Amino acid sequence: MPVSVKKLAGGLSAGALAMASCVAAAADSVSIDLTGVEIRNATNQTRSSAPATIDPAYRYFIDFSEDTLVRGVSGLLALRYPNPTPLADIMEEFEPGSSAALHSSVINPEGTHPFGLTADDVGGTTVISGITVTFSMTLTAAINADGTASFSLTNVVVSPASLVGAMRFTSGSVVITRGCVGDINDDGGVDGADVEAFFVLWEDGEAPADLNQDGGVDGGDVEFFFTRWESGC
């Protein structure tokens, strides 16, 4: 929750005010262009946001933009997807529910870089022209020590490769945005509703309540939550 410099001025030194000004001017998001990246069997590819950087945060949102489109460029995939098609639709065809991996959030307990954001395995099977096609890959996003972000496609399997061919991104990007730990319900504010939402997760032992990422849901997560909640983020 933003706090104005004016409100803080009475209790801050000149140096602290300067620091608050720097925070206000933080790079809140960064975009990684996917145009031209191919989904091809046994082919790993990585893209970077460089030179653009993002400032450290305790939480991040990782989202594929709504214009992320892919088309087949060879083999059976060129027959099935001759025109740019939403990546989410293709993923749902191979494995219903898998497109959820295109929108996620992650906690960075230390609030520093470098930090590995996410590594999701996605894929499934479908039938194209009577042939069963298998598709899988690992989607990995990270922020490097210098604040640049990276996105990788690894462990790519498109089988049978000789018949299926490959797909290519015609547009779209991965957008990484700094988020707020205290805003548990993601309504844009930090208030009592977030406390209630957190304790619902915490009492049920849900994974999202493991805010300090130590593998358990306990008092340490309550302390971490209220530290961030009281700071407004």
pLDDT tens profile 124-150: 999 999 999 999 999 999 999 999 999
Q: How far apart are CA 13 and CA 15, in angstroms?
A: 5
Q: Is the pLDDT of residue 96 over 80?
A: yes
Residue pair 121/136 in contact (Cβ under 8 Å)? The answer is yes
Q: CA 133, 139, 145: angle at the middle one, nearest 5?
A: 160
CA-to-CA separations, 183 to 73, 165, 211, 226, in angstroms, rounded: 42, 44, 12, 11
Residue type, 151: F
- In sequence order, which ranges of 95-211 are alpha helices (DSSP H)? 161-164, 192-203
Q: What is the DSSP letter of 110?
A: T
Residue 233 has what pLDDT? 74
Residue 106 exposure: Cα atoms within 13 Å on the Cβ side: 21
Which two structure tokens, joined as six digits, stand for 170? 């015609």
- The model's pLDDT over 160-176, given as tens digits with 9 standing for 90+, comes to 999 999 999 999 999 99
Instruction: Give the DSSP letter string of 165-179.
Output: --EEEEE-EEEEEEE
- The model's pLDDT over 30-64, given as tens digits with 9 standing for 90+, comes to 999 999 999 999 999 999 999 999 999 999 999 99
Q: What is the DSSP letter of 159?
A: E
Q: What is the DSSP letter of 214?
A: S
Which two structure tokens, joined as six digits, stand for 131? 């042939």
CA-to-CA separations, 30 to 38, 88, 153, 183, in angstroms, rounded: 21, 21, 18, 21
Q: pTM for the full model?
A: 0.83
Does 232 or 201 have the greater pLDDT score? 201
- The model's pLDDT over 97-123, given as tens digits with 9 standing for 90+, comes to 999 999 999 999 999 999 999 999 999
CA-to-CA separations, 184 to 149, 176, 220, in angstroms, rounded: 24, 18, 16
Q: Is the dihedral of CA 92, 119, 1, 175 positive or negative?
A: negative
Residue pair 137/122 in contact (Cβ under 8 Å)? The answer is yes
Q: How confident is the model at residue 26 (pLDDT cuts 50, 70, 90)?
A: very low
Q: How far apart are CA 4 and CA 213, in angstroms?
A: 31
User: Quick one: what percent of the chain has pLDDT higher than 90?
Assistant: 86
